[in-house]
Structure 1
């Protein structure tokens, strides 16, 4: 990770037209990494131009001597490279105090107050966070974090459903805030489902996590791989038995049913494809169904179920299907 001092140096060289191709590549990569970085660059450049304009008509002083005094008086001098043009020397010295005092503070505020929001609407998406952790967002889900993520905290906010592969960092726990729950880990993989007006559900795939509610860490459940817990409104976390083999179907792109009542089969398909079913004959819901689909399409699944369960499936309207005998 590039230091703030090095970034300041790159920006100064870019503004003065003295930046090398390698340095420009570093700067461009840093700018694209976070919207807060672009905001900092703009503030620094505007401040630089303002200071340069203010002193453009003044005579040039003994720049080398002034710069030496200026550097000695700074508590933390920015190691900017000295350029050869006398006008550049004066612009750099004139703007430095304003840049360090104003832009340095602005950079801190921008990073602290900025938020990055990752969304998956119609399609599932995969993201790599600044700390190297990977997040797989289900459809209609959202993840956000502030500008300090990865520096002194690794806290994210989740709405919807996501699978996390957390990069190990024993000194900086990874925390997921979802609904009224908080999940704290050091390095593991897990699924959190946090849809509005539904209990928050946590499934641990590998490693160990602490799952807590209103009581915080004092009331946390420590869960290991293969265990599941839910958090209902105004209650504390509760460990449950999750026998559903499709809890990660949306991520793994597969559906598996083994002698499952048709109502559970349909519920899983609704979640997977974002559709709804209406059943004319309620007795159909208790029929048992067995089947397996890899990378399924909705048309394939409906066709196989209609033939296997001997039912008729018709589309009543967009994404709404009616099941009858």
Structure 2
């Protein structure tokens, strides 16, 4: 006896398991697309949406694979279950109609218990897969064209400078507080004596319990650490064994394949990008221009090198580039002209 097209318990079973598992993951629209793709019912437009979503983040591909595995597990579990014998059951039912017998209830308890057990195992597997995905999923915070402020899951605050990136995984705050930094950031770390906050930047590692500090870690440049408050341990390839302990007001740098060393930081503008303030007190013009270049992400060309030794004094709060250039031009008695976008020439 062939099975009616309406009788599709296997497909129904897999759909139930899929729905239970996906409901744990809470991604309704994407789950629908994945289910339609697995069943071969997805349209070209929907496939385009799904493909774009898969390519957007490696974690999305892992999510897709976990649901697809759940579907396959359900198919395997169903194949282990005895298939109901419709003809035999109908024959028994007919015989009971013509030859009454003592009332007895016939159940397929073992089959349904096996089905329930399989469902529990599959859903548990899906839950474990999701947990592993979440713990390994990386969150990336970026500040490409401007400064941004973020609050991490543990309550710590991070101020990212432009062209900077911070990353951490899904277990952050549970059993670790490790982040990876590329670029420059100011950290205001929430205190947690049992769980140190660790910043991996370039070849360096900075470990703290609760403090504020700035790390600058751009490609092909030494990593620089400035401690604002509290105390931190700054280490290189030797790890904690070669750690340099720094307190508020101290600075250290780390060059590739070397150990950290403490230096004197005489730059009052090392936090200008965060505080929105530029301060100069009788400093050579080359230092003034260097701070302005870093703050506005521009470049200066100086026609006469002797100009670089001119001393300059001034303070700018919430500075605007046009204002800064105008004031310097007048007080230093120099001409400043725009050569091209973000490039300025200084001459007499």
Question: Does the pair score TM above 0.5?
Answer: yes
CA positional deviation for 1:263: 0.2
Listed as ranges, the matches of 1:268-283 within 5 Å are 268-283=291-306
Return the TM-score normalized by structure 2.
0.70
Which of 319, 322, 332 in structure 2 is aligned with 1:309?
332
* Residue 156 of structure 2 corresponds to residue 156 of structure 1: no
- Contact (CA 8 Å) 1:280, 1:324: kept in 2 or not? yes
Structure 1 residue aligned with 2:148: 125
Which residues in structure 2 correspond to 1:65-214 (within 5 Å)? 66=113, 95-100=119-124, 102-214=125-237
Unaligned runs of 5+ residues in structure 2 are: 1-18, 25-57, 85-106
Is this contact kept in 2: 1:47–1:95, CA < 8 A?
no
Moved >4 Å (runs of 4+) = 11-16, 35-46, 48-55, 57-63
Helix, strand or coil for the counterpart of 1:168? coil
Tell me by how many angstroms 1:243 deviates: 1.7
Q: Could you give the per-residue CA deviations for residues 142-166 of structure 1, whole angstroms, max 9, x where no partner exists?
A: 1111222112111111110000111
Over aligned residue pairs, what C-alpha RMSD do you find?
3.1
Shift of 1:37: 10
1:41–1:171: structure 2 CA closer, same or farther, 3 Å change rule? farther
CA displacement, residues 81-127 of structure 1 (integer Å, 9 cap, x when unaligned): xxxxxxxxx8x765221110x21331243134321111111111111
Q: Is it true that 1:227 corresponds to 2:247 in the alignment? A: no
Q: In the aligned structure 2, how far is the partner of 1:227 from the partner of 1:199?
A: 16
Compared with structure 1, are the counterparts of its residues 279 and 48 closer, same or farther at alpha carbon in structure 2 (3 Å cutoff)?
same
The whole-number CA distance in structure 1 between the counterparts of 2:200 and 2:23 is 41
Distance in 2 between the 1:306 and 1:95 partners? 76
- 5+ residue gaps, structure 1, are 1-10, 17-34, 71-89
Q: Which residue of 2 aligns with 1:241?
A: 264
Cα deviation, residue 131, structure 1: 1.4
TM-score, scaled relative to structure 1: 0.75
Match status 1:290 vs 2:313: yes
Q: Aligned partners of 1:172 and 1:41: how far apart in 2?
A: 33
Secondary structure at the residue paired with 1:183?
Answer: strand
In 1, Cα distance between the equivalents of 2:83 and 2:290?
A: 76
Note if contact 1:48-1:99 (Cα within 8 Å) is conserved in structure 2: no
Equivalent residues of 1:137, 1:162 under 8 A apart = yes
Alignment match, 2:91: none
Shift of 1:36: 6.4
Aligned-partner SS, 1:214: coil
Count how many residue pairs are aligned between Structure 1 and Structure 2.
Answer: 273
